[in-house]
Amino acid sequence: MNLATPPKPSTLVGIALAIAATACFACLDTTTRFVTIAGVPMIMALWVRYGIQALSTTALTRRRWAEGIWRTAHPKYHLVRGLLLMGSSLFVFLGLKHMPVGEFTAIAMITPLVVTVIAAYFFKEPISPLRWLLLVAGFVGTMMIIRPGGESFNWGLLFPLGSVATNTGFQLLTSRLARTEDPMTMQLYSGWIGFTITAVLLPFAWSPEVAWHDALALVIMGAAATLGHWLFILAFARAPATVLSPYFYGQIGFAMLGGWLIFAHVPDLWSLRGMALIALSGCVGAWLTRHEERHKVVDVLQEDFHPET
Tell me what pLDDT residue 83 has: 94
pLDDT higher at 112 or 203: 203
Tell me what pLDDT residue 153 has: 64
Q: In the structure, what pLDDT confidence band is assigned to residue 6 with cuts at 50, 70 and 90?
A: low
**pLDDT of 2 strictly over 60:** no
Question: Model confidence over 165-218: pLDDT tens digits?
Answer: 998 888 888 877 877 888 888 888 999 999 999 999 999 888 888 888 999 999
State the Cα–Cα distance between residues 16 and 18, nearest whole angstrom.
5
Whole-number average pLDDT of the chain: 82
Sketch the domain layout of the chain as residue ranges.
10-294
246: nearest Cα among 281, 220, 221: 281
DSSP string, 267-298: --HHHHHHHHHHHHHHHHHHHHHHHHHHHHHH
pTM of the full predicted structure?
0.78
Q: In the structure, what pLDDT confidence band is assigned to residue 296 with cuts at 50, 70 and 90?
A: low
Mean pLDDT of 239-267: 84
Percent of the chain with pLDDT strictly greater than 70: 86
Whether 191 contacts 50, CB under 8 Å:
yes
